[in-house]
Amino acid sequence: MFSYFKEYFDFRAFLICLALVIIGLVSIYSATFDINNAANFHRQALWAGIGFIIMVVTSFIPLRTLQRLSISFYFIVLAILVIVLVIGSTIKGSKSWFGMGGIGGQPSEFAKITTVLAFASYLSRTDVSISQFKHLSISLCIFAAPMFLILAQPDLGTTIVFFAALLPLLYWAGASNFILIAILVPILAACGALLGTTQFLIAIAIGTVLLYIFRENRFTVAVAFGIMLAIGLSVQVMYERMHVYQQKRISVFLNPEADPLGAGYNVVQSKIAIGSGGFFGKGFLKGTQTQLNYIPEQWTDFIFCVTGEEFGFLGASIVLGLFAALLLHALRVASISKNRFASLAAIGIMGIFGTHTIMNTGMSMGLMPVVGLPLPFLSYGGSALVANMMMIGLLMNFYANRKEY
């Protein structure tokens, strides 16, 4: 029995997940301790238990079954995303939730999983090659459909996660450097357009040089340049359609102190909390920013502040170290998996976890814009926690079946 577990049970992924979930529960308990909101802690503990069961079940599903059903799951979740746009609950300006009787769910959390699995399933077929335009187009459409529906909610943060997971998947699938650059430069142009005319022109110039360096033929360069220019020019239109609070988040990204009591308030207080923790922290339940509720709903997107303030640089480093270990392990699973579907899906999961971690901790320290992305396993939220533990279950599954073709 021990030899079986040693060979097939993914202890590393399991223990990293367990450690992060425990840290998350401790942090949520602290963030809700002095405001009589223990119900959030109890609900998160319940979701952790449910997530653990789902993680174990997922780890034992036959790999072939996962691959065969992934396309069906993808279309089911797409249908749910359409339904949520019609009858979903609007929370903080985003119509992305199903809610009833105080219990809610966010389908976009599971859309990330089904999209990665569908992408991996399609590209693992023997008659499909990423180098062919038809197959590349279908692969991009697999990602584009849920991204469009989620952006319509609007949920910019989750849309960013989809895009960030797509790039490593394309690279791992064997896409050329030109394809990766052609997908990346429109985002560069869009970011430049948000910052100003001069920055936009610089971004267009850089994008043009990159497209020329990695060119395959003149036609593809012209098409990629046109797309880059069109997206960059359309950003201002999209910006004007954003909610006011989203516009303010972008405007205070580079200078949160410009509106310290408004759009920049959470970031300013978050930086104070993390900076005041020092090396060892102020101690459990002794963080002044946390216990005095300086950061509204800190148990959600700004949960990293609790770790930084109460457990200091040491505690924050442990959390970041655990995430780094998880990402490296996902990369290792992808590298040793002989099954192409499992290998691609593991890379997609790595991209999802990596984007969430970088974006969330970055916005807590004022290094990234506030886009409402939770920190995996730590932030409060049942849908996110269950989805994250399901992805750990998938990694465990891929590890156990790493020798299967």
SS (H, E, C) the chain: CHHHHHHHCCHHHHHHHHHHHHHHHHHHHHHCHHHCCHHHHHHHHHHHHHHHHHHHHHHHCCHHHHHHHHHHHHHHHHHHHHHHHHHCEEECCEEEEEEECCEEECHHHHHHHHHHHHHHHHHCCCCCCCCCHHHHHHHHHHHHHHHHHHHCCCCHHHHHHHHHHHHHHHHHHCCCHHHHHHHHHHHHHHHHHHHCHHHHHHHHHHHHHHHHHCCCCHHHHHHHHHHHHHHHHHHHHHHHHCCHHHHHHHHCCCCHHHCCCCCCHHHHHHHHHHHHCCCCCCCCCCCHHHHCCCCCCCCCCCCHHHHHHHCHHHHHHHHHHHHHHHHHHHHHHHHHCCCHHHHHHHHHHHHHHHHHHHHHHHHHCCCCCCCCCCCCCCCCCHHHHHHHHHHHHHHHHHHHCCCCC
* Whether the predicted pLDDT of 200 surpasses 70: yes
* Whether the predicted pLDDT of 172 surpasses 90: yes
Mean pLDDT, residues 218-236 taken together: 85
Closest by Cα among 279, 213, 250 to 372: 250
Q: Which residue reads 């052609």 in tokens?
A: 182
Mean pLDDT, residues 356-360 taken together: 94
Q: Which residue reads 């998947």 in tokens?
A: 169
Mean pLDDT, residues 247-266 taken together: 64
Question: Quick count: other Cβ atoms within 10 Å of Cβ 134?
Answer: 9
Rounded Cα–Cα distance for residues 72 and 62 (Å): 16
Question: Quick count: other Cβ atoms within 10 Å of Cβ 21?
Answer: 24
* Whether the predicted pLDDT of 396 surpasses 90: yes
Mean pLDDT, residues 200-229 taken together: 89
Model pTM greater than 0.75?
yes
CB-count exposure of residue 337 (10 Å: 0-12, 13-18, 19+)? buried
Rounded Cα–Cα distance for residues 53 and 386 (Å): 9
Mean pLDDT, residues 344-369 taken together: 93
Query: How far from the centroid of its chain's Cα atoms is residue 209's Cα?
Result: 30
Strand partners, 97: 89
Query: How far from the centroid of its chain's Cα atoms is residue 231's Cα?
Result: 23
Domain ranges of the chain: 2-154+242-400
* Whether the predicted pLDDT of 236 surpasses 70: no
Band the pLDDT of 94: cuts 50, 70, 90: low
Q: What is the pLDDT of residue 123?
A: 93
* Whether the predicted pLDDT of 253 surpasses 70: no
Mean pLDDT, residues 167-172 taken together: 93
Mean pLDDT, residues 105-120 taken together: 93
Closest by Cα among 239, 260, 242, 236 to 366: 260
* Whether the predicted pLDDT of 311 surpasses 70: yes
* Whether the predicted pLDDT of 350 surpasses 70: yes
Rounded Cα–Cα distance for residues 164 and 198 (Å): 26
Task: For the chain, give the percent of residues with pLDDT over 90.
Answer: 50
Answer with the residue of higher pLDDT: 147 or 262: 147
Rounded Cα–Cα distance for residues 23 and 108 (Å): 24
Task: For the chain, give the percent of residues with pLDDT over 70.
Answer: 88
Q: What is the pLDDT of residue 254?
A: 56
Mean pLDDT, residues 344-353 taken together: 97
* Whether the predicted pLDDT of 403 surpasses 60: yes
Mean pLDDT of the residues in the chain: 87
